Amino acid sequence: MPQAPFVVRTEHVPCPLCALDRPKPYRSRMYRIGDTRFDLVRCPCGFVYVNPRPDGETLGKMYDDADYYTDGYNLGVETENYFARKDELLAHYDGVVAELERTLCEPGDLLELGSAGGFFLAAARKRGWRVKGIEISPPAVEYSRREMQLDIHSGDLFEAPFPEKSFDLVVADNVLEHTTNPEKVLVKLRSLLKPGGHLLVIVPSYVNSPFFRLILFVQRVVPRRFLGPQLVKILKLDPDADPKGGGYPYHILEFDRPTLTALVERAGLKVERVEGSVPLPAEVFKARSTTLRVFLLRTIFKTLDLGMRLGVLPGARLTLVARA
Ligand SMILES: [Zn+2]
């Protein structure tokens, strides 16, 4: 068992959604840092969260890791280093921003919380948006300033120097599941929106879902060889599958459609829509040769994604649009 690269301290927390402190076991030993194990628990309100969780200082050390976006967390659904995917991501986000312009609003003032390498912001800027970012990982801040010439606040949302009511659109893509107090984050984001401005929130929603519970059950009969090590890691079936990306408790909160909607509404925003989808794993969808395994897995993922987008299946990833 590898040693933890820093001192690990934990804290017991009540439900981050409803403040009740009556956790029931959900999945034990889900994550680990070194030899410290972390369990997932479920509140009677339906919310799933890590408890006890790493304390604030320990969480900070996880994100200070220079490998966070390369060899650590980011190599989940993808197989390639995040920064090496620059051109692919810029093209992808150009399409995403074009879709936002069609469905939400014309180019204006845009803030991204958790701006990572800045590819989304750079794509938006090219289309005429005035963009700002907030990012907690020092190497990602440095990269997005140096390589993308972006205006990024390094550090915490609550210390960011942005005036109230200054953005038309605020985006938090894969951020909320990392926060210790998501309601406080959402209230702050709401305060930064101009009246009528939009908030776009994207969260993974797989662990607190019937899919996860089903997969935990059927993995006893499906050979691990069919899934392969990459999918075992993505599906979070084994905290020991890799020492960092699949193991660290980066996600301390697990949303589903009802809990995410309730939280955003409690923060004073009006939810306009919530859509489900599933991230398509690169190992399967960028595979060079179409073996029978790849063909079957592509069919399964595509069918799930369609069902989620049509709303007949719960999403493994949720995209929520709300209005101030
Ligand atoms: Zn609760």
How far, in Å, is the centroid of ligand 1 from the Cα of 18?
A: 4
Evaluate whether residue 300 is within a structural domain.
no
Looking at the fold, whether 153 and 262 belong to one and the same domain comes out as yes
Q: How far apart are CA 73 and CA 250, in angstroms?
A: 8
Could you tell me which of 260, 206, 264, 278 has the C-alpha nearest to residue 235? 206
Looking at the fold, whether 22 and 154 belong to one and the same domain comes out as no
Looking at the fold, whether 112 and 159 belong to one and the same domain comes out as yes
Range of the domain at 48: 10-77+206-253
Evaluate whether residue 101 is within a structural domain.
yes
pLDDT for the residue numbered 75:
47
How far, in Å, is the centroid of ligand 1 from the Cα of 260?
A: 12
Looking at the fold, whether 148 and 271 belong to one and the same domain comes out as yes
Q: What is the pLDDT of residues 41-65, one digit of tens each?
A: 999 999 999 999 999 999 988 888 7
Looking at the fold, whether 192 and 214 belong to one and the same domain comes out as no
| CATH number of the domain bearing residue 198 | 3.40.50.150
Q: What average pLDDT does the segment 259-273 reach?
A: 96
Q: How far apart are CA 298 and CA 301, in angstroms?
A: 5
Evaluate whether residue 137 is within a structural domain.
yes
Does pTM surpass 0.85? Answer: yes
Looking at the fold, whether 18 and 94 belong to one and the same domain comes out as no
How far, in Å, is the centroid of ligand 1 from the Cα of 189?
A: 22
Evaluate whether residue 312 is within a structural domain.
no
How far, in Å, is the centroid of ligand 1 from the Cα of 49?
A: 9
Evaluate whether residue 180 is within a structural domain.
yes
Evaluate whether residue 289 is within a structural domain.
no
Evaluate whether residue 212 is within a structural domain.
yes
Evaluate whether residue 183 is within a structural domain.
yes
Looking at the fold, whether 99 and 162 belong to one and the same domain comes out as yes
pLDDT for the residue numbered 151:
97
Q: How far apart are CA 118 and CA 86, in angstroms?
A: 9
Looking at the fold, whether 273 and 247 belong to one and the same domain comes out as no
pLDDT for the residue numbered 45:
93
- What are the residues whose beta carbon lies below 5 Å from ligand 1 (ion)? 15, 17-18, 20, 43, 45, 47
Structural domains of the chain, count: 2
Q: How far apart are CA 198 and CA 321, in angstroms?
A: 7
Q: What is the pLDDT of residues 97-153, one digit of tens each?
A: 999 999 999 999 999 999 999 999 999 999 999 999 999 988 899 999 999 999 999
Looking at the fold, whether 192 and 210 belong to one and the same domain comes out as no
Confidence band of 316 (pLDDT split at 50, 70, 90): confident
How far, in Å, is the centroid of ligand 1 from the Cα of 13?
A: 11
Residue 254, C-beta contacts closer than 8 angstroms, at least 6 positions apart:
40, 47, 48, 49, 177, 204, 205, 207, 208
Looking at the fold, whether 40 and 88 belong to one and the same domain comes out as no
How far, in Å, is the centroid of ligand 1 from the Cα of 34?
A: 29
Looking at the fold, whether 200 and 272 belong to one and the same domain comes out as yes
Domain boundary at 253, 269, 288, which? 253
Q: What is the pLDDT of residues 3-32, one digit of tens each?
A: 778 899 999 999 999 999 999 999 998 888
Two structure tokens written together for 253: 């909160």
Looking at the fold, whether 212 and 155 belong to one and the same domain comes out as no
